Amino acid sequence: MESQVRGGTRWKRFAVVMVPSVAATACIGVALAQGALAASFSVSGQSFKVTTDELVGTGFSQYGALDEGYTLSGQKTVHPVAVSAFKSASIKNMCQSVVTPNIPVLGNVSLMLRAGQSEPVEAKNLYIDVADLNADATFTNIDIGVAAKDAGKGPGMKGGGEQANPYGFAQQAEKAVLKDVKQTAWATTAGTFKLSGLKMSLSTGVKECY
């Protein structure tokens, strides 16, 4: 197994890996308050849930950041996230869900998207702004504690005014294999995103991937 060779590391809970990155967002918050970083990356007022049987990614990096957005009532808010970046990723049996609450007449409405059940979902230059994640994870040739700007194994920082400190904590690995993934995220972006066997459904009530 890769976890037993030099440069490979395995954690039962991927959340353990995220602790330093999420903790680093406290420093970013101070920088924002002092006007040292721009606050221009905006996300919607809704997080979403994602599950996958397996994600195999190459060129992995992760760093702390802040996503600025608005609540559904229009109030300004900031979300601390750990940005997980992959140069390429193959994803098996992906489910994504988001619930919009309190729609007049209908009440709660759930949107669910499924793909990659027969052929994997394929993504290039994938960025996921993660708030919470649990998985079985195996990393190959991992470096922990590099500066975000120097995490060269991944696709680099998103840029475009993203609220992340280029000199803040980051980690990187040549390869990451995540199994039985359950995560909550605020944003996902990709250079290309091929959704094989895409199925989308809308339903009333609360219906989520987990």
* Whole-number pLDDT of residue 140: 97
Q: Which residue has the higher pLDDT, 29 or 138?
A: 138
Query: Cα separation of 94 and 75, whole Å?
Result: 31
* Whole-number pLDDT of residue 25: 37
Which residues are within 8 A (CB) of 152 and not within 5 positions of it... i.e. 6 or more apart?
172
Residue that is written with structure tokens 């995490």 in the block: 151
State phi, psi for 64 to the nearest 5 degrees: -80, 145
Burial of 66 (0-12, 13-18, 19+ CB in 10 A): buried
> H/E/C letters for each residue in 2-44?
HHHCCCEEEECCCHHHHHHHHHHHHHHHHHHHCCCCCCCCEEC
Residue 135 has pLDDT above 90, yes or no: yes
Residue 24 has pLDDT above 50, yes or no: no
Residue 62 has pLDDT above 90, yes or no: yes
The domain ranges of the chain are 2-204
pLDDT, tens digit, 9 for 90 and up, residues 160-191: 556 888 999 999 999 999 999 999 999 999 99
Residue 9 has pLDDT above 90, yes or no: no
* Whole-number pLDDT of residue 192: 93
Rounded to the nearest 5 percent, the helix, strand and coil shares of the chain are: 10, 60, 30
Q: What percent of the chain has pLDDT over 70?
A: 78
Amino acid letter, residue 139:
F
**Residue in 180, 127, 170 with CA at minimum distance from that of residue 28:** 170
- Count Cβ atoms below 10 Å from residue 75 Cβ, excluding itself: 9
Residue 27 has pLDDT above 70, yes or no: no
Residue 22 has pLDDT above 60, yes or no: no
**Residue in 98, 88, 93 with CA at minimum distance from that of residue 127:** 88
* Whole-number pLDDT of residue 4: 37
State phi, psi for 187 to the nearest 5 degrees: -160, 150
